[in-house]
Amino acid sequence: MGPLPDPSLDDLGTDFSDTGDGDIGMMKLGDNSSGLNHSFAYNGVFFDQPCIVLSLSAQEVSAEEKSELETQLKEDAENAFFLPTGLNVTLTLTPDGSLMSMNVWIGNSSLSINRGPAVDVDIDGESISGRDGMSSKEFNNEELSFHAEFETEIHF
Protein backbone atom coordinates (compact mmCIF):
# COMPACT_ATOMS: atom_id res chain seq x y z
CA MET A 1 0.00 0.00 0.00
CA GLY A 2 1.36 3.43 -0.98
CA PRO A 3 1.40 6.56 1.14
CA LEU A 4 -1.87 8.23 1.96
CA PRO A 5 -2.63 11.32 -0.10
CA ASP A 6 -2.19 14.74 1.43
CA PRO A 7 -5.45 16.39 2.49
CA SER A 8 -7.03 18.81 0.08
CA LEU A 9 -7.41 22.42 1.08
CA ASP A 10 -11.15 21.90 1.27
CA ASP A 11 -10.61 19.22 3.94
CA LEU A 12 -8.84 21.68 6.25
CA GLY A 13 -11.95 23.55 7.31
CA THR A 14 -9.91 26.76 7.23
CA ASP A 15 -11.49 30.05 6.17
CA PHE A 16 -9.06 31.39 3.60
CA SER A 17 -11.07 34.61 3.28
CA ASP A 18 -9.91 35.66 6.75
CA THR A 19 -6.14 36.14 6.92
CA GLY A 20 -6.35 37.54 10.44
CA ASP A 21 -3.50 39.86 11.31
CA GLY A 22 -1.39 38.83 8.31
CA ASP A 23 -1.52 40.17 4.79
CA ILE A 24 -1.37 36.69 3.27
CA GLY A 25 -2.14 34.32 6.10
CA MET A 26 -2.03 33.28 9.71
CA MET A 27 -0.09 30.84 11.85
CA LYS A 28 -1.38 29.63 15.20
CA LEU A 29 0.59 27.78 17.87
CA GLY A 30 -1.43 26.91 20.94
CA ASP A 31 -3.20 30.10 22.03
CA ASN A 32 -0.81 32.40 20.15
CA SER A 33 -1.22 33.54 16.57
CA SER A 34 0.92 35.52 14.18
CA GLY A 35 0.37 36.97 10.75
CA LEU A 36 2.18 35.79 7.66
CA ASN A 37 2.82 39.01 5.77
CA HIS A 38 5.36 38.31 3.03
CA SER A 39 6.06 35.77 0.33
CA PHE A 40 9.31 35.13 -1.55
CA ALA A 41 10.08 32.43 -4.13
CA TYR A 42 13.15 31.36 -6.09
CA ASN A 43 14.34 28.57 -8.37
CA GLY A 44 16.67 26.17 -6.59
CA VAL A 45 17.89 22.58 -6.38
CA PHE A 46 16.79 20.08 -3.72
CA PHE A 47 18.72 16.77 -3.59
CA ASP A 48 19.81 17.24 -7.22
CA GLN A 49 16.22 17.97 -8.31
CA PRO A 50 15.15 21.35 -9.72
CA CYS A 51 12.64 23.00 -7.41
CA ILE A 52 10.87 26.19 -6.45
CA VAL A 53 11.40 27.33 -2.87
CA LEU A 54 8.52 29.41 -1.51
CA SER A 55 8.80 31.16 1.81
CA LEU A 56 5.83 32.68 3.66
CA SER A 57 7.01 34.77 6.56
CA ALA A 58 6.19 37.39 9.15
CA GLN A 59 9.20 39.52 8.13
CA GLU A 60 10.14 40.71 4.63
CA VAL A 61 13.24 39.31 2.95
CA SER A 62 15.68 42.22 2.64
CA ALA A 63 17.31 43.35 -0.60
CA GLU A 64 20.67 42.38 0.93
CA GLU A 65 19.45 38.83 1.67
CA LYS A 66 18.07 38.49 -1.88
CA SER A 67 21.39 39.67 -3.36
CA GLU A 68 23.37 37.25 -1.17
CA LEU A 69 21.12 34.33 -2.19
CA GLU A 70 21.45 35.23 -5.88
CA THR A 71 25.25 35.21 -5.54
CA GLN A 72 25.15 31.83 -3.76
CA LEU A 73 22.92 30.37 -6.47
CA LYS A 74 25.32 31.54 -9.20
CA GLU A 75 28.31 30.06 -7.37
CA ASP A 76 26.79 26.74 -6.26
CA ALA A 77 23.12 26.27 -7.09
CA GLU A 78 23.02 22.83 -5.46
CA ASN A 79 24.04 24.12 -2.03
CA ALA A 80 22.38 27.53 -1.92
CA PHE A 81 19.40 27.69 0.39
CA PHE A 82 17.80 30.59 2.15
CA LEU A 83 15.85 30.53 5.38
CA PRO A 84 14.21 33.81 6.36
CA THR A 85 14.61 35.08 9.88
CA GLY A 86 11.73 34.91 12.30
CA LEU A 87 8.51 32.99 11.96
CA ASN A 88 8.07 31.37 8.53
CA VAL A 89 6.79 28.46 6.50
CA THR A 90 9.11 27.37 3.69
CA LEU A 91 7.77 25.04 1.01
CA THR A 92 10.00 23.22 -1.45
CA LEU A 93 7.99 22.39 -4.57
CA THR A 94 8.62 20.48 -7.78
CA PRO A 95 8.65 22.66 -10.91
CA ASP A 96 4.99 21.68 -11.48
CA GLY A 97 3.99 22.67 -7.92
CA SER A 98 3.88 19.37 -6.01
CA LEU A 99 5.13 19.46 -2.43
CA MET A 100 8.60 18.01 -1.82
CA SER A 101 9.05 19.24 1.75
CA MET A 102 7.94 21.87 4.22
CA ASN A 103 9.79 23.56 7.08
CA VAL A 104 8.15 25.65 9.78
CA TRP A 105 10.35 27.95 11.89
CA ILE A 106 9.10 29.50 15.12
CA GLY A 107 11.68 31.10 17.38
CA ASN A 108 14.58 28.68 17.72
CA SER A 109 12.50 25.61 16.86
CA SER A 110 11.70 24.02 13.54
CA LEU A 111 9.43 21.33 12.16
CA SER A 112 10.21 19.53 8.89
CA ILE A 113 7.65 17.35 7.15
CA ASN A 114 7.10 16.04 3.63
CA ARG A 115 3.38 15.34 3.79
CA GLY A 116 0.40 16.71 5.63
CA PRO A 117 0.11 20.31 4.50
CA ALA A 118 -2.23 20.97 1.62
CA VAL A 119 -0.79 22.96 -1.26
CA ASP A 120 -2.61 24.31 -4.29
CA VAL A 121 -0.37 26.39 -6.58
CA ASP A 122 -0.41 27.80 -10.08
CA ILE A 123 2.95 28.46 -11.69
CA ASP A 124 2.77 30.86 -14.62
CA GLY A 125 6.16 31.68 -16.08
CA GLU A 126 7.99 33.71 -13.47
CA SER A 127 5.20 33.89 -10.88
CA ILE A 128 3.57 31.53 -8.43
CA SER A 129 0.21 31.93 -6.74
CA GLY A 130 -2.01 29.75 -4.64
CA ARG A 131 -2.83 28.76 -1.12
CA ASP A 132 -1.60 26.31 1.44
CA GLY A 133 -2.39 25.27 4.95
CA MET A 134 -2.16 22.70 7.67
CA SER A 135 -5.07 22.07 10.02
CA SER A 136 -3.26 20.71 13.07
CA LYS A 137 0.10 19.23 13.95
CA GLU A 138 1.72 18.80 17.36
CA PHE A 139 4.72 21.08 17.72
CA ASN A 140 6.55 21.53 21.04
CA ASN A 141 3.54 20.10 22.93
CA GLU A 142 1.12 22.58 21.33
CA GLU A 143 -1.14 22.48 18.30
CA LEU A 144 0.24 24.20 15.20
CA SER A 145 -1.89 25.27 12.24
CA PHE A 146 -1.54 27.78 9.44
CA HIS A 147 -3.16 28.98 6.24
CA ALA A 148 -2.05 31.40 3.55
CA GLU A 149 -2.98 32.75 0.13
CA PHE A 150 -0.10 34.16 -1.89
CA GLU A 151 1.03 35.54 -5.22
CA THR A 152 4.68 36.33 -5.80
CA GLU A 153 7.42 36.55 -8.41
CA ILE A 154 9.84 33.62 -8.75
CA HIS A 155 13.35 35.07 -8.50
CA PHE A 156 16.53 33.94 -10.19
Q: Residue 18 — very low, low, confident or very high, per pLDDT cuts 50/70/90?
A: very low
* SS3 assignment, position 69: helix
The answer to whether 44 and 80 have CB atoms below 8 angstroms apart is: yes
The Cα–Cα gap between 139 and 111 comes to 7
pLDDT digits over 114-135, tens only?
A: 776 678 999 998 999 999 888 8
Longest CA–CA span in the chain (Å) reads: 47
Question: 115 to each of 7, 23, 42, 72, how far by Cα in Å?
Answer: 9, 25, 21, 28
- Over range 15-37, report the average pLDDT: 75
The answer to whether 79 and 47 have CB atoms below 8 angstroms apart is: no
- Over range 49-65, report the average pLDDT: 88
Please report the pLDDT score of residue 70 as a whole number. Answer: 81
